[in-house]
Amino acid sequence: MFEGFETAQIDVGEASAFVRYGGDGPPVVLLHGHPRTSATWHRVAPLLVRAGHTVICPDLRGYGRSRGPAFTADHAGYSKRAVAADVVAVARHLGHDRFALVGHDRGGAVALRLTLDRPETVTRVVFADALPVTEHLSRITAEFATQWWHWFFFAQPDIPERVINADPDSWYHGDPEVMGAENYEEWRRATRDPDVVRAMLEDYRAGLTVDRRHEEADRAAGTRITCPTLALWSLKDDLEDLYGDPREIWRRWADDVRGHGIDAGHHVAELAPEELASAVSGFLQDRPGDQAT
């Protein structure tokens, strides 16, 4: 995986971030979702390098080989604000004060927080299979509760750790043929680590508490995303089925929104890497035809 890329373990203060990076050109940071690591981008990152970009793929705080602070009752150490600060520190360590962002799933929540908190650092942002957590919570239906029940299970104290760590291979259903053997093995090592499992649960616990409050404060203050924004969603996932056109929801938060669906399941970087890389590189380079809404 990641031929020609380098790796580093970067001290970012209260946390330590593992990162892969390679290429030359305008930088783009790729933020993975749950329960993946940065290895999920192994098919997309080389395509973006070929398209002329420096590509930076960190493990989110507590995921994979990144490590965070001690766990606390308020979950603040794993808030999206804290993780976004890690991303800025990693990019600066690698020599980049401004960069584009791509966030998938939980990485999309980090991308949102970073773009709102530090707009001067983000040139363009891509949200893939992601919406603000408050938009999900304001639309809770029986269908949402049935399909997304894990959000509320993960928020419970202690019980999720005991259930997941008893048999992580059964809980997390990975397929080496679909994921790629090296990506699968890296993911499997991570999900068998109780500290990683706890950190991933803290991500969700923060989402329903401190992250929700941060988003509510942004809405009350009228804070918006001012850089160009691309919304992508997997047509074989449930985002559009639950909410309709995701672009309309993102327009509540951002001034310039475009986007489209991709014919794939949820883990789009593994399932449709060419389509995802083409959409991202076209948006970052503002090629004709990539402005359609």
- CA 180, CA 130: separation in Å to the nearest integer? 24
18, containing H or E segment = strand 16-23
| Comparison of pLDDT for 287 and 261, the residue scoring more | 261
- CA 205, CA 248: separation in Å to the nearest integer? 27
Beta-strand relationship, 54-58 and 16-23? antiparallel
Buried b (16+ CB within 10 A) or exposed e, 242-252: bbeebbebbbe
Residue range 200-245, pLDDT digits in tens = 999 999 999 999 999 999 999 999 999 999 999 999 999 999 999 9
Whether 276 shows a pLDDT value over 60: the answer reads yes
Q: Residue 275's pLDDT band (boundaries 50, 70, 90)?
A: very high
Active site residue 286: no
What pLDDT is attached to residue 147? Answer: 87
What pLDDT is attached to residue 21? Answer: 98
- CA 80, CA 269: separation in Å to the nearest integer? 22
Judge contact between 56 and 199, C-beta under 8 A.
Answer: no
Q: Residue 286's pLDDT band (boundaries 50, 70, 90)?
A: confident
What pLDDT is attached to residue 288? Answer: 46
Mean pLDDT score of the chain, rounded to an integer?
95
- CA 267, CA 34: separation in Å to the nearest integer? 10
Across residues 264-274, what is the average pLDDT? 97
What pLDDT is attached to residue 282? Answer: 96
C-alpha distances (whole Å) from 204 to each of 25, 68, 72, 209, 210 are 34, 15, 14, 9, 10
Kindly name the residue from 59, 105, 211, 218 that is annotated as catalytic: 105
Across residues 58-79, what is the average pLDDT? 97
Domains of the chain (ranges plus CATH)?
6-285 (3.40.50.1820)
Active site residue 105: yes
